[in-house]
Structure 1
Amino acid sequence: MSHTITVAGVDVDTRHWIGGARVASARTFTDVSPIDSSILGEIARGTAVEAAAAVNAARDAFPAWAAVSRAERSRLLHAVADGVERRLEELAIVETTDNGALLRSHRRGVMPRVAHNFRFFADRLLELEHGDFGTRGHTQHVSWDPAGPCVLITPWNAPLMLATWKAAPALAAGNTVVLKPAEWSPLTASLLADIAAEAGLPAGVLNVVQGYGHEIGDVLTSHPDVRRISFTGSVPTARRITASAAANLTPLSLELGGKSPLLVFADADLDLAVDLAVEQYDNAGQVCLAATRLLVEETVAEEFTRRFTTKAARLVQGDPRDEGTDIGPVIHPRQLERIDGFVHRAIAAGARAVVGGHRGDGQHYAPTLLTDVTQDSEIVQEEVFGPVLTLQTFADEEEAVRLANDTRFGLAATVATGDPGRAERVTAQLVAGTVWVNCFFVRDLRAPFGGSRLSGVGREGGTWSFDFYCDLKNTVTAPSGWRSHG
């Protein structure tokens, strides 16, 4: 039986990567492309046996990897980045075929960011230090010690970028990794294992185990040898992971859902505000940071809506491999049903579809804008994770902030205004891990990233990543003139 499939001309191994070797499973799951529903291949379906083997491999490899110098770890991570750049086109076309996101985005933004994830943390590692400080003649020295094996559980909407956003700092910190990719988009994680091995990463330092979360998740997250868990995904799954990790008090970093607002004030550049709003349809709306709640000052709401509908009508839905396509398919029929259910229930409850409100061809969902929605309605309060926006109006700053903060989430927010004073006042009151003013999705790896409320626990990025993936140690040394105890 062959364990290799060919996807868009690229060979991909369908087995796990454990302890520096390919490992098959007795069972498989079917990977299907959202572009045309074609079967891409049968992927090794992990069990408790493979999950435990991956953790054991990471545990066994940890002491030697933790002892590797910072300079050598940095060199190896740069070598991984080199491998990503050499295979950028292959990674881009495989991921587009696997998850349906735009090929042009993968080529120009996503895969270069994958390489940058490794380079940034490789360089940051060499800069990591905290100046010593004195206390009554004693010297206090802060150090970042590797924590141990890390389990990284990643989503399907930006598979490789989010996997490496976690793996790069974990590896840079001197930890070993067990990566569990989403079963709807597993292929580029397998290619990453090949790239890491070719770069010289020692066996067991990076492991990839595939399968269903409900079958292997508990083994990974409850294992007593796992010292860190980082998860990006839904709130219900995060609750299960948290419960599983509780017995060992394993530290968690959770980046969860969002229901982010875009506040448009009357003094904003309306063309810019409309551009920001239409940008929320990126990746078919399957972006946790998406500002899906448009909150528009009532005096400009009519004009904003007119310009928005005109611009949204120009969006092209189609094959994500075509350069002219703006919106690709939704990743899975189950997700398509979920999105359609949200919209149908909202319309039945009195919402009006100003734009879209229906399925497109295949697994596409039409870009949708719903108005006449109430603040307590499901469509306003719950994450849809599809190309569906709502529009509400407000009378003043106080109401805008109240509506913006009135959900269980707090991942991000966007503010469009021409008044710097207003921007300062409003952003200070918004509950969000990231706030953008007159821009969207500008990210710097030096900055902290994470959410408030049900949008997550903890922050990663820059030094915050090392704070999470390391055990911080403070060593206090007495003044010179040691006293001997006989």
Structure 2
Amino acid sequence: MIAPGRRADVGGVSVPVDHLIGGAWVGSHESFETRSPLAWDDGPLAEVARGDDETARAAVAAAQRGFEEWGAFTVGERAAVLHRLADLIEEHTDEIATVETLDMAFLQESMRQRLVGRGALNFRTYADLIVAHEERAWHAKNMDNVVQHMPAGPAVVITPWNAPFMLATWKLAPALAAGNSVIHKPAEWSPLTAALLAELTLDAGFPPGAYNLVQGIGEEVGAALVADPGVRRITFTGSPATARHIGQAAAENIVPFTAELGGKGPLVVFADGDLGAAAHRAAWQFDDSGQVCLAGTRLLVEESVRDEFLTRFHEHADALVLGDSRDPETQIAPMVHPDHRAAVHGFVERARAAGDTIVRGGRPLEGSLHYEPTLIEPTSNDSEVVQQEIFGPVLTFQTFADEDEAIELANSTAYGLSAIVFTGSRERAERVGRAIRAGLVWVNTFLVRDLTAPFGGCGISGIGREGGDHALEFHSDLKTLMIADDTCN
């Protein structure tokens, strides 16, 4: 019988607020509060356990024990557990959607219709991929050669506050599928659906310690986790500044490390493209209040269609509905935290002071954590709002004369996660798509991706790749077994 631990009522859903370590709920001496962006002044949604160095050591020790059992599961046995977890996620769609909407302000209908199901699909995808991830075998040098995929060991998985449930499943699924035990550290601004996921793992059939959840502040328990020599893999999504600290800790213990660190994606519109579709897609970069790493936040439009594009863009932006995330009519949710909204407003105010033109928006709204969908025309490509990730509902607008200038502008930041191109020419799609330096380039579409394709960025957008076999390779240690031909039977 597993002790229940402390719980909180969040929108009528009972949510664990302690750590899950070694299959048991474990508390801490201190706690931190999480509040709803939908009703910030109403007080905390929950008081969540605040992990420390002791918590981190206990979680790593539990993960080491859990790895011995989980890593010994056959590929088929692991796949069956992952499919059971996916089933449970789908069965609890409404509860997960309710909690994430309150904790992070994600649109509740989008959670129900897309994001929770995508979380289940992540586990199903890797359950199937690990079965198909065959050993490579060949004969050479008078030997049979076989490359084996060995589980690497305990993996620390650190996930961000935006789309927390889906992004957690995206990173946890390959680690678990590969046979690693995991220690999941969610962001402290949106920690609650991670607890629901942890609870579902208990019913799915994971052995104790295969899946561990540690709550707390990143600089405290997160730093202790990544520095522990018992950890054999680290995967992180967040800011470049935090990634530098994690990378140093990983290097100290010679631990492989992947990082997805955000972007400053260009949305490039050529005159031969579908301007209506491009303007509509550009306005929808305000989705989730711009708190999307893949967003095309730099609008780069061919000079000859500047006015027509802006007219259409404003029509679409004017039609966006800002409101409560629980309302099905709402299209743009509030921002996650007052501190983050203040940081976004700081970018806009500095742009205003530097002489950049605020074409639309540029202010926080009274009575909620919304920020007006904002478009800025900078005086220079060196402007801070062009070069730095804002991670809010703020886009920049620039024009270009020809294809060469479009590519030059697209590649002019230190980031390189994603890009969007609109053109009616297949030849231009190929040329520009290949010339833009980014981990993902969409042409005449956006946010549609085969889950087996590699995912990651160039430059300060990150290191390593997630997705498909790329993630399974990262979470495995490879062994080449060589057996000479004259070996006796």
Q: TM-score range by the shorter chain?
A: over 0.9
SS class of match (1:414): strand
Superposed counterparts of 1:67-466, under 5 Å: 67-361=72-366, 362-466=368-472
Q: Is the 8 A contact 2:288 2:332 kept in 1?
A: yes
CA RMSD of aligned residues (A): 1.3
Partners of 2:111 and 2:380 in 1: CA distance: 37
Partners of 1:419 and 1:427 in 2: CA distance: 12
Shift of 1:372: 3.6
Shift of 1:313: 0.4
> One-letter code of the match for 1:29?
F
SS class of match (2:110): helix
SS class of match (2:309): helix
Partners of 1:293 and 1:201 in 2: CA distance: 44
Shift of 1:483: 6.9
User: Where does residue 62 of structure 1 map in the other structure?
Assistant: 67
Partners of 1:84 and 1:373 in 2: CA distance: 48
> One-letter code of the match for 2:21?
I
> One-letter code of the match for 1:158?
A
Moved more, 350-359 or 229-238: 350-359
Partners of 1:483 and 1:270 in 2: CA distance: 70
Shift of 1:181: 0.3
Q: Is the 8 A contact 2:70 2:206 kept in 1?
A: no
Moved more, 34-43 or 124-133: 124-133
User: Where does residue 10 of structure 2 map in the other structure?
Assistant: 7
Partners of 2:462 and 2:311 in 1: CA distance: 35
Q: Is the 8 A contact 2:56 2:225 kept in 1?
A: yes
> One-letter code of the match for 1:292?
T
Partners of 2:111 and 2:381 in 1: CA distance: 36
TM-score using structure 2 length: 0.97
Q: Is the 8 A contact 1:373 1:392 kept in 2?
A: no
Match of 1:34 among 22, 34, 37: 37
Once the two structures are superposed, what CA deviation does each residue of 1:35-82 show, in whole Å capped at 9, x if it has no partner? 111320111011111111111100111111111111111000111011
TM-score using structure 1 length: 0.98
> One-letter code of the match for 2:301?
V
Partners of 1:253 and 1:369 in 2: CA distance: 33
Partners of 2:169 and 2:468 in 1: CA distance: 14
Partners of 1:317 and 1:266 in 2: CA distance: 31
Q: Is the 8 A contact 1:373 1:380 kept in 2?
A: no
Unaligned runs of 5+ in 1: none
SS class of match (1:143): strand
> One-letter code of the match for 1:67?
A
Once the two structures are superposed, what CA deviation does each residue of 1:224-260 show, in whole Å capped at 9, x if it has no partner? 1100000000000000101112111110010002001
Matched-pair identity in %: 51
Q: Is the 8 A contact 1:103 1:321 kept in 2?
A: yes
Q: Is the 8 A contact 1:373 1:391 kept in 2?
A: no
SS class of match (2:161): coil
Partners of 2:72 and 2:80 in 1: CA distance: 15
